[in-house]
Amino acid sequence: MNLELHNKVIFITGGARGIGAAITQACAREGALAVIFDRDKEAASALQLELSKEGLRSEAVVIDLTNSSLLQTTIENLSAKLGRIDGLVNNAGTNDGVGLQNGSPERFRSSVQENLVHYFTMAHAALPMLKKAGGSIVNIASKVAVTGQGGTSGYAAAKAAILGLTIEWAVELDPFGIRVNAVVPAEVLTPQYEDWVKGFPNSEQVLRDIVSSIPLGERFTEADEIASTVLFLLSPKAVGINGRHLFVDGGYVHLDRRLTKAAH
């Protein structure tokens, strides 16, 4: 299917690693100019080199997304340079384990800043160009927003807020033809996820237990599967989808777990 993204300009935060990298690759392979926003210079450069070897286009902005004033200025300068912004993927975030019992008000505030505020800053700064293009925003949330996890209050609050902002922005930006949707992953075996699992003394058993509770195929969702959904939502093919939360999780959140347990 031609997603009509050729020569479109797509901004992707956290676009150098994990789910973000898969989205960057997918955008570039559809002929878009993928613009990576990431603090990891080495990972961004490596991804750019990989894409260039395929003859694909990308740009990298190495930046701390929590620096709102610098982020605003950077996007304004990029807008002038590139002349358009057709899509924004707000993806960057960290499940940092700032919980109610082990955290503090200061750490909670920092966690929300790290995981939420840049979503607003990116959208606010890109908005003039998105209005011109009638573009699309896709926010990456997390199943933690609706299921909880325990011990990660800051991340859960930020991801729940992202779901709320998705609907709010869809309402506010509807007159400009800008669609806003959220993708909600659950268990995706990214490098960050693997690092979290390695923190358990019985990490292999933890992985087996998680996989055994995923209804569809008892397997992790692939980052490429998240990316495919994001690309569809960015494209004109998804013109009828607005203000929605799409769960790409193999049924992990909504299907009865007994479907998997009964098979063992």
Specify the pairing of strand 33-38 against strand 9-13: parallel
What does residue 124 show for φ and ψ, rounded to 5 degrees?
-60, -45
Burial 100-133 (b: 16+ CB within 10 A, else e): eeebeeebbebbbebbbbbbebbbebbbebbeeb
Token pair in block for residue 1: 């299917």
Whole-angstrom distance, CA of residue 90 vs CA of residue 119: 6
Q: What is the pLDDT along the chain (264 residues), one digit of tens a residue?
A: 799 999 999 999 999 999 999 999 999 999 999 999 999 999 999 999 999 999 999 999 999 999 999 999 999 999 999 999 999 999 999 999 999 999 999 999 999 999 999 999 999 999 999 999 999 999 999 999 999 999 999 999 999 999 999 999 999 999 999 999 999 999 887 777 777 777 788 878 878 888 888 888 888 889 999 999 999 999 999 999 999 999 999 898 988 766 665 554
Residue 155 among the catalytic residues: yes
Three-class secondary structure of residue 251 per DSSP: coil
The answer to whether the CB of 186 falls within 8 A of the CB of 132 is no
Q: What is the CATH number of domain 9-187+222-254?
A: 3.40.50.720
